[in-house]
Chains A and B, each alone.
Chain A
Amino acid sequence: MRLASIDAAALAVGLRAGMPLADARAQIGELAVVPHDPVLDQDWLDRLAQGCARYTPLVALDAPDGLILDIAGTEHLLGGEAGLVADVEMRLARLGMTLRHALGPTADAARALARYQARPAPDEASAIRRLPVAALELEPEATTALVRAGLKTIGDLAGRPMANLAARFGADAAMALRRILGDAPSPLDPRAAPPPVVAERRFAEPLGSTAHAVKVLSELAVEAIEDLAGRGKGGRHFRATFFRSDGLARSIAIETGHPTRDTGLVMRLFAERMDSLADPLDPGFGFDMIRLAVPRLEALGASQLKLEGGTVKDAAIDELADRLATRLGRGRVRRLRPADTHIPEQAQLELPAADAPPPLAWEKPEAGEPPTRPFHLFDPPQPIEVIAEVPDGPPHQFRWRRQAHAIRRYEGPERIAAEWWRRRDNGGLTRDYYRVEDAQGRRFWLFRHGLYDEKPDPRWYIHGVFA
């Protein structure tokens, strides 16, 4: 076992990350050790990134322990770069985090400065030139080779022809150097794209009560919806983020089945969502900022639905579906859509009502014929014991759920082949379906899975029940 990471006190007494644990214990008797959990670390970093959304919408993760914020155009909100840095330091110190930070002209430059800067410099450009070549993050051998050649800093490298570097250490090395120097773009991969419509409010004094926060949220909803109305759009997805004064944030999102500009509806769905949260919204030391974002917009005409009698009722049903989906989870309110396949259990799709596509035509019944598909379908089919003629006779009797059924009437077989054109092995068993009626008048859908020449002892299943 090795040390994954150490704190400043451990560094001071001579421990290093990567050291065997036994050696570290031998040096320092009373060493406090915590098991390393990369998943929890990632989770924590993600929560910090969410909290940093207060400074800029463009926050990128630099795993395992870095965050890159694109603050261009937003730093003046906190009194310039110095004010912003002081705010970040203050909040992270409250969470007990040790912070190394740097500002740079490009994301890669800032990152290299934060991670590798050893000596102070009068300005950014010279600070970059004084960075060690390790900041390029090449293979260890390549770094050693550069240092042996006397090229110890980025500045040493920058003065030499780029082609030589590329020839010796690969195009990646040259590219990394150009990125740090700002000659090549260093695109940021932000955690979330900035939403098109945002309304937010900051408070000088943090809000201690959730009820008050919800009231502010409803004011924000009015603002956001005015913005939506101006664009001729409606929101499909609303996300409220509550930023706590200790730097963490909590997001709550709702979705609607149709674009909406109804403040009442949005607030009812938020209330529904908050009621059903397993861990309620916790103000902690208070919320100092609340933001309502509308990440997903769709065109919505200016017409009022309520002018037409018929659509009011549709709107009521849609609202009910949204409300139940918010309370139960979006996958639990469903609509049925056909799928183009012969395999019975795949012929219908149960889709969340919020994103079910417009209805498609279902197969129409044949006139004068009884239904050939059951009302209830078992998926997966349930195994039964059947007495039937071998090889392909109809069933005479079957046993299902500890009850025997004598078959009085039957129709079949309806032979459904496996979809060999979709299977990698081009195989699959043929099914012979029988529609049967037992002595009590109950109708079932049974099938034999496989023909006798496909399989020595094919099993029987019940796949559905007819009305």
Chain B
Amino acid sequence: MRESSPQLAGLRKRIARLTANGGFESRRAEGWLASGYARFDNAIGGGLAIGRTHEFFAADALDATNAAAFAALLALRTPGKAPLIWLRTGDAGKRTGHIYAPGIAELGGDPDRLLLVEAADPRVLLACANDAIRCAGSAAVIVESWGKFPLLDLTAGRRLALGARDAGTTLLMLRLNAVPAPSVAETRWNVAAAPSRELEANAPGAPAFDLELLRWRGGPAGTRWRLDWNHDQNCFGDAALSGALLPLPARRAMASHGAAAA
């Protein structure tokens, strides 16, 4: 017993440290994945913290592309050549479509930064995610899953989050066709497609996103934004400001829009 007591003491200390702040040290993030839109970034303390886990839920199965694009653009708008590691299961190409590099290039992203990993099933996906987040040097790791992900329980989520924190990598969990559930994520978003600003001759305009902050560890949640993507400036912007005319919200009340963002 004698030789195990220092270990026990060490464990107790570690537990005390872990429980002090909901399981995570209160050290500041090393940086942020910012949207480039100052009001949005300031409202969530600078952007999406690097070295943490962030979850993106698609509001509907049809919003999968917008959720994926929002996560990918946040990572790809960072300067440099750091790769974006994107893990998905083999059936994702059939469900939501193949990731299409010419489309990413037209959004101003650099498709050469993408490293696509195709896992056979969710179990392998989780194992690969654990490896990928422990590898420093990526712009972000996107883990795309479809439907319920029973393997990703609180323990697995925490393991991922701790791995990401230790290596300083950002984990973007893309949860498509899933219902938001408690997890250790730093922020949790609900992403939906928003009507774009109309161009000449009634043509669809730049990509637009309806965002709802479902949870934020550092402050109040519940704020909603409507952002659009400006590929010339390589940043997000307020859809209401950049557009001459804000289209009527199609599906949900946007009463808190603007005021809540301030």
Chain B residues within an 8 Å CB radius of A410: 202-204
Mask for A339-355, Cβ within 8 A of B = 1, else 0? Answer: 00000100110100100
Contact of B112 with A370 in the complex, beta carbons under 8 Å: no
Q: Which of B82, B193, B201, B232 contacts A441 (CB 8 A)?
A: B193
Chain B interface mostly helix, strand, loop or mixed? Answer: mixed
Contact of A440 with B193 in the complex, beta carbons under 8 Å: yes
Contact of B62 with A442 in the complex, beta carbons under 8 Å: yes
Interface size class of B (residues with CB under 8 A): 35 or more
Are A335 and B116 also in contact (CB < 8 A) when A370-B196, A441-B250 are?
A: yes
- The docked-state distance in angstroms from the alpha carbon of A323 to that of B131 is 9
B132 an interface residue at 8 Å Cβ cutoff?
Answer: yes
Give A359's nearest chain B residue, CB to CB. Answer: B112
Are A313 and B124 also in contact (CB < 8 A) when A371-B107, A465-B65 are?
A: no
B106 an interface residue at 8 Å Cβ cutoff?
Answer: yes
Q: Which chain A residues in 5-58 approach chain B with CB under 8 Å?
A: none
B198 an interface residue at 8 Å Cβ cutoff?
Answer: yes
Chain B residues within an 8 Å CB radius of A320: 85, 131-132, 135
Distance in Å: Cβ of A162 to nearest Cβ of chain B: 62
B46 an interface residue at 8 Å Cβ cutoff?
Answer: no
Mask for A398-415, Cβ within 8 A of B = 1, else 0? Answer: 000001000011110000
Are A364 and B65 also in contact (CB < 8 A) when A370-B199, A466-B207 are?
A: no
Most buried by B among A313, A353, A441, A442: A441
Contact of B193 with A442 in the complex, beta carbons under 8 Å: yes
Q: Which of A316, A371, A379 contacts B137 (CB 8 A)?
A: A316
Mask for B75-102, Cβ within 8 A of A = 1, else 0? Answer: 0000000110100000001101111111
Contact of B137 with A467 in the complex, beta carbons under 8 Å: no
B189 an interface residue at 8 Å Cβ cutoff?
Answer: no
Contact of B96 with A376 in the complex, beta carbons under 8 Å: yes
Most buried by B among A336, A353, A373, A411: A336
A374 an interface residue at 8 Å Cβ cutoff?
Answer: yes
Most buried by B among A324, A375, A409: A375
Chain A residues within an 8 Å CB radius of B108: 365
16 A-B pairs with C-beta separation under 8 A: A313-B136, A317-B135, A320-B131, A334-B115, A350-B116, A365-B105, A370-B196, A370-B203, A370-B206, A375-B65, A375-B107, A376-B103, A411-B204, A442-B193, A465-B62, A465-B64
Q: Which residues of B contact A (CB under 8 A)?
A: 62-66, 68-70, 72-73, 82-83, 85, 93-94, 96-108, 110-112, 114-120, 124, 128, 131-132, 135-138, 192-196, 198-199, 201-210, 229, 231-232, 247, 250-251
Q: Which residues of A contact B (CB under 8 A)?
A: 312-314, 316-317, 319-321, 323-324, 327-328, 332-336, 338, 344, 347-348, 350, 353, 359, 362-365, 367-368, 370-379, 403, 408-411, 435-437, 439-443, 464-467
